[in-house]
Homo-oligomer: A and B are copies of this chain.
Amino acid sequence: MILITGATGGLGSALAKLYSEESPVLLSGRSEAKLAALAQTLSGDVTTSVADLMDENQIVQLLDTLPETPKMIFHCAGSGCFGPIETQSAKSLTQLVENNLTSTMLFLKALVSRYQNQPVTVAVVMSTAAQVAKANESTYCAVKWGVRGLLESLRIELKGKPMKLVGVYPGGMATEFWVTSGTDMDTSSFMTGEEAATMLKQAMPSTKHGYVSDITINRQ
């Protein structure tokens, strides 16, 4: 069983397509309509579950939906907000923080509580914006650096436990993400969500004593 959050956008939906071809998947997002539309395009054992990860009760319900302990969880939920900081509204900043950092805290808190002693791999999808500072992405970098600090610290808390955290850092994807975030960037040479998903999926299989703990995927 594989759980994917943020399954209706970019990398999430591409992962949903790839994994649903070989495993039962539970797809989550905030929009019931988008989840239904996505499920329509997929065959295989596909379940959907609407959840707002800012609400702890909805996180509990989402995890209760799982018929078994998931082998892998891809946490793709997130949103963007770009431009010079003085052009960003208080409302959009607050939502950016909630959508990316606070919700990830609540989601990882629930996963750690429930699964820390089980062999569950949790891939947390961030961005190359979590690794460097960027002009006109100051608040987006802020929340992604925040998620990275959370991930790196939780790894130390989980040391020696079977639950594993994988940091995923994609850069420069051409997804609707850029459209909805209001930027005007030419994304024609960017990699697609499908390409990033393909590379992420092929890198995920672990061995008896090892696993890929961090992976950065960039455009050519």
* Residues of chain A whose beta carbon lies under 8 Å from any beta carbon of chain B: 56, 84-86, 88, 90, 93-94, 97, 101-102, 105-106, 108-109, 112-113, 116, 130, 133-139, 141-150, 152-157, 159, 162, 164, 169, 171-172, 174, 189-192, 195-196, 198-199, 202-203, 205-220
A sample of 15 inter-chain contacts (CB < 8 A) reads: A93-B102, A97-B101, A101-B143, A105-B142, A133-B152, A133-B156, A141-B153, A191-B207, A195-B207, A195-B210, A206-B220, A208-B220, A211-B217, A211-B218, A214-B215
Contacts A210-B199, A220-B206, A220-B211; is A150 near B154 (CB within 8 Å)? no
- Oligomeric state, in copies: 4
Highest count of chain B CB atoms <10 Å: which of A102, A106, A189, A206 = A102
A143 CA / B214 CA spacing, docked (Å): 21
Q: Check if B157 sits within 8 Å of A136, measured CB to CB.
A: yes
Q: Is the CB of B135 within 8 A of A157?
A: yes
A118 to chain B, nearest CB (A): 13
Q: Which of A85, A137, A162: most chain B CB closer than 10 A?
A: A85
B residues near A108, Cβ cutoff 8 Å: 85
Query: Contact between B133 and A109 (Cβ–Cβ < 8 Å)?
Result: no
Q: How far is the CB of A34 from chain B (nearest CB, A)?
A: 25
Query: What is the distance, in angstroms, from A175's C-beta to the closest C-beta of chain B?
Result: 12
A208 to B215, CA, bound (A): 18
Contact A156 B144 (CB under 8 A): no
The answer to whether A139 touches B93 (Cβ under 8 A) is no
| Residues on B with beta carbons closer than 8 Å to the beta carbon of A88 | 109
- A169 CA / B210 CA spacing, docked (Å): 13
Shortest Cβ distance from A96 into B: residue: B105
B206, A199: Cβ atoms under 8 Å?
Answer: yes
Q: Is the pair B220, A164 in contact by a Cβ cutoff of 8 Å?
A: yes
Q: Which of B86, B105, B141, B202 contacts A109 (CB 8 A)?
A: B86
**Cα separation A194 to B3 with both chains bound (whole Å):** 30
Known contacts being A105-B85, A199-B210, is A150 close to B141, with CB within 8 Å?
A: yes
Q: Which residue of B lies closest to A145 (CB)?
A: B149
